[in-house]
Amino acid sequence: MDFDFDLFVIGGGSGGVRAARVAAAEGKTVGLAEESRMGGTCVIRGCVPKKLMVFASSFGTAADDAGQYGWDITKGDFDWPSFQSRLHGELDRLEGVYQSLLKNSGVEMFHSRAVLVDKHTVKLGNGVTKTARHILIATGGRPVRPQDVPNAHLGLVSDDIFNLKALPKRMLIIGGGYIACEFACILNGLGVEVEMYLRGAQILNGFDDEARGLVAETMKQSGIVIHTGTNILDMCPAADKDNREAASGTNESMGVAPAHGSGPLWVKTTMGAEAEFDAVFFATGRAPNTNDLGLEDIGVDTGRKGEIVVDDFSKTSVDHIYAIGDVTGRVELTPVAIREGMAFVETVFKDNPTPVDHDLIPTAVFTQPEVGTVGLTEEQAAAQEPIDVYCTSFRPMQGAFIEKADRVLMKLLVSQKTRKVLGCHIVADGAGEMIQMAGIAVKMGATKEDFDRVCAVHPTMSEELVTMKTPVRSA
């Protein structure tokens, strides 16, 4: 059978684009369809714009610090429209870069939605069908609003933040995961009054307890109000509150809801408290983009949350159809999607079956201060085997000089039996940069003694990773 392409990729995010380019470099004919903007979540509405907002939000405190270091600084107000204009200009530029990379690689692009017809065929939005020897699904994920909260459509999700016409004065963030915490710090740094409602007892569930505890403490010191054991029960436009209270507690919307930012919102918590906010931001999870792709019609298995089920080689339950990235629900990180795309090409087009390595992935949370982590948490490591915990927390030189209370954390978890470093956790400005380097050592299986043999770079915060000689405790 003759095919239009050797490979057809559905999705123009980081993983799909990388797979398409690498396959084309192997001399394969490749088509790629993207229904939104080329670059996907990371480039257009995720990692890149978020990190630029992190940078923007840090200059307020930097200006305050500069004054204490002797600089004559006049601190002005943050100009959101000016920043936003430049931000979108940069995203437009990056989208153009992605399009150029695909074009120069020989990939044929289709700015259209594509759905599966059978294991070798996709249908584009204009009804045209394309055939391919192999199909790769890389459609990513999307933020979701809770289904059990009345008028949840009035709330923002992460995609909306970058398109706000103006910053709210007072915002409520629902959730305590990394997206919630990152945006809480960003918006707080930009002058927004931020409160958080989270169901659990602490932010950043799944991260090292000691590390997330320090982050929470620092967030509170910066003015972020964190309500634990709390969730949202009800919400509506503040102007409709009295009518709603008289509606016998029903969960039905009171008429047509206003658009985002057109008026304050009234919320009621599971604890019975009531409050008003200019905006409510739901950071309560993401879902894979698998709706209406035709998966069920051709027998592609999906999981409980809609994620595409794949094997170690990213193959679905249907021959010739593969999936990578967030749509598979494995590890939802951009660099992981890219590596999965490269492993897919090795497996399918280079006759080199390559399973995806999801072990010991370094990650960073861009709170203020940042969290960098690789390997096991203390709780996970202690449950696995006897460990020694090497840990130090201190005021870094830059802040201590001007009497700031902020502290940093450096932590290594070491197997008592093998002396291998099982986990490394850093809470500090620049932790994301540090953990990339530490991740190399942990991935290589370095022991505590390997760390000890490295000469310290002085004076730095990270030198503590190679100077901690005595465990603070064993577990």
pLDDT tens digits along 156-180: 999 999 999 999 999 999 999 999 9
Quick: pLDDT tens for 286-328: 999 999 999 999 999 999 999 999 999 999 999 999 999 999 9
Give a three-class secondary structure readout of the chain.
Answer: CCCCEEEEEECCCHHHHHHHHHHHHCCCCEEEECCCCCCHHHHHHCHHHHHHHHHHHHHHHHHHHHHHCCCCCCCCCCCHHHHHHHHHHHHHHHHHHHHHHHHHHCCEEECCCEEEEECCEEEECCCCEEEEEEEEECCCEEECCCCCCCCHHHCECHHHHCCCCCCCCEEEEECCCHHHHHHHHHHHHCCCEEEEEECCCCCCCCCCHHHHHHHHHHHHHCCCEEEECCCEEEEEEHHHHHHHHCCCCCCCCCCCCCCCCCCCEEEEECCCCEEEECEEEECCCEEECCCCCCHHHHCCCECCCCCECCCCCCECCCCCEEECHHHHCCCCCHHHHHHHHHHHHHHHHCCCCCCCCCCCCCEEECCCCEEEEEECCHHHHHHHCCEEEEEEEECCHHHHCCCCCCCEEEEEEEECCCCEEEEEEEEECCHHHHHHHHHHHHHCCCEHHHHHCCCCCCCCCHHHHHCCCCCCEEC
- Catalytic residue at 134? no
pLDDT tens digits for range 382-436: 999 999 999 999 999 999 999 999 999 999 999 999 999 999 999 999 999 999 9
CATH code given to domain 152-282: 3.50.50.60
Q: pLDDT at position 1, please? A: 77
Rounded Cα gap, residues 232 and 249, in angstroms: 14
Q: In CATH, which of 3.90.1310.10, 3.30.465.10, 3.40.605.10, 3.30.390.30 is domain 363-474?
A: 3.30.390.30
What is the edge-to-edge ordering of all strands in the sheet holding 387-394?
Answer: 363-365, 370-375, 421-428, 408-415, 387-394, 473-474
Q: Which residue has the higher pLDDT, 307 or 255?
A: 307
What are the structure tokens assigned to 35, written together?
């229904």
**What is d(CA 162, CA 87) in angstroms, rounded to the nearest whole number?**
9
Q: Please indicate, yes or no, whether the overall pTM of this predicted structure exceeds 0.85.
A: yes
* For residue 247, pLDDT beyond 90: no
Kindly name the residue from 120, 134, 260, 458 that is annotated as catalytic: 458
Q: Over pLDDT 70: what percentage of the chain?
A: 96
* Each residue's pLDDT tens digit, 85-102: 999 999 999 999 999 999
Specify the pLDDT at position 241.
87
Q: Where are the domains of the chain?
A: 5-142+287-349, 152-282, 363-474
Encode pLDDT of 108-154 as tens digits: 999 999 999 999 999 999 999 999 999 999 999 999 999 999 999 99
Average pLDDT of span 375-388: 98
For the structural domain made of 5-142+287-349, what CATH number should be given? 3.50.50.60
Task: Judge if 152-282 and 363-474 fold alike in CATH terms.
Answer: no
Residue 348 has pLDDT above 90, yes or no: yes
Per the prediction, the chain carries an average pLDDT of 95
